Amino acid sequence: MIQTPYYLIDKLKLKRNMEIVQYVREQSGAKALLALKCFATWSVFDLMSQYMDGTTSSSLNEVKLGRLKFGGETHAYSVAWADHEIDEVLANSDKIIFNSIGQLERFEQDSVGHTRGLRLNPGVSSSEFIIADPSRPFSRLGEWDAEKVMKVIDKISGFMIHNNCENGSFELFDRMLSQIEERFGALLEQVEWVSLGGGIHFTGDGYPLDAFCARLRAFSQRYGVQVYLEPGEASITLSTSLEVTVLDTLYNGKQLAIVDSSIEAHMLDLLIYRQPAKMAACDGPHQYMVCGKSCLAGDIFGEFNFDHELKVGDRLSFIDAAGYTMVKKNWFNGVQMPSIAVRQLDGSIELVREFGFEDFVSSLS
């Protein structure tokens, strides 16, 4: 028995997503890069790299991780590169994508001979959350003005546009891509490759994959570009759980259960977006508010129904715990950091990483 808390990555579930990614690559001609900002647990890259073309990044560290652990094509993007990073970024990447014309011009000499791109901001997004909306007012994420971009077009060979966000609607994707074509069509005609970013939930149940692939292919043919996708969440969705144990139960007007984990430390993204965690299938007359063990008063995973009264020692499993979760885990309160386990394709479970006091100590000085 593996000591809780631990994240459990199920390779069979991951493979289901990967097979869809593969299908989209084959049918649309698009290349697929894993967005490491969403998921960077490299012990399962052996499987993922068989189905994807490489990685994309948001920092020098992610660029190096992608090159070292995933291989394939390595796209280097960051909101802003620092002078002292640029040589290593170039040495470890196949393409560098600048967020602004200012950055492109700043590093123009350093990056001569490297494949260069620029991020465009189309001013439309599918995000329901202002914090995650790349097209929010005054957004710093990419260039908006086609005229200004046209003046530097000879310095680049491609664009990156990331404006989808948890978008499960093909109609909305299609409509926004048409808006992009209207706004930036003249620019798209001038380049060789276009990355459409992440945020497209094409691995979700019922997504119209063939219409999606046809739309991508038509876009690629219209502008004569190699299309890239940067799926983060879509690559790993529903592949991973966070396994925890009940440490205490109490009644304070509601039944409460405290577990050996913390939403703030181990599923921080949910706290930021004020969304409850998802519990593995459970139902019944016993409702509990499941809480974390950190000191944060609002360290609450959510309220769930069970078919039995919870007691100390019971095991609970939060599903969909891979995206923006493991990459954001932290040592708040010194709460034991979850181990990482992998369910291999043959069903065996392998513990691939444990964290201890030394890791806690070495995370600060």
Ligand X SMILES: Cc1ncc(COP(=O)(O)O)c(C=O)c1O
| Site residues for ligand X per CB under 6 A | 35, 37-38, 56, 77, 162, 197-199, 230-234
| Rounded-to-integer distance, Cα 289 and Cα 316, Å | 13
Report, in Å, the least distance between residue 147 CB and ligand X: 24
CB of 107 or CB of 228, closer to ligand X? 228
CB of 17 or CB of 294, closer to ligand X? 17
On whether 10 is known to bind a ligand per the annotation, the reply is no
Report, in Å, the least distance between residue 201 CB and ligand X: 8
Report, in Å, the least distance between residue 310 CB and ligand X: 33
Burial class (CB in 10 A: 0-12, 13-18, 19+), 136: middle
- The continuous run of DSSP H or E covering 150 comes out as helix 146-150
Is residue 55 a contact partner of residue 231, using CB atoms and an 8 Å limit? no
CA angle 14, 209, 183 (to 5 degrees): 110
Report, in Å, the least distance between residue 287 CB and ligand X: 32
User: What are the backbone dihedrals phi and psi of residue 215, each rounded to the nearest 5 degrees, phi first?
Assistant: -65, -40
How far is residue 54 from each of residues 80, 197, 231, 235, 350, measured CA to CA in Å? 22, 13, 11, 12, 25
The reply to whether omega before 208 is within 30° of 0 (cis) is no
CB of 119 or CB of 266, closer to ligand X? 119
CB of 203 or CB of 339, closer to ligand X? 203
> Cα 252 to chain center, whole Å?
37
Joined tokens for residue 86 = 């640029």
Report, in Å, the least distance between residue 152 CB and ligand X: 20
CB of 131 or CB of 297, closer to ligand X? 131
CB of 161 or CB of 290, closer to ligand X? 161
DSSP string, 108-125: TTTTTTSEEEEEB--S--
Is residue 125 a contact partner of residue 163, using CB atoms and an 8 Å limit? yes
Positive/negative CA dihedral, 135, 92, 55, 22: positive
Report, in Å, the least distance between residue 123 CB and ligand X: 16
Report, in Å, the least distance between residue 328 CB and ligand X: 13
| Rounded-to-integer distance, Cα 257 and Cα 276, Å | 15
CB of 4 or CB of 163, closer to ligand X? 163
Report, in Å, the least distance between residue 347 CB and ligand X: 28
Q: Under the phi-then-psi rule, with left for phi > 0, alpha for psi from -120 to 50, and beta for the rest, what region is 280? A: beta
CB of 227 or CB of 258, closer to ligand X? 227
| Rounded-to-integer distance, Cα 203 and Cα 123, Å | 25
User: What are the backbone dihedrals phi and psi of residue 260, each rounded to the nearest 5 degrees, phi first?
Assistant: -85, 40
On whether 233 is known to bind a ligand per the annotation, the reply is yes
Binding site members for substrate: 233, 269
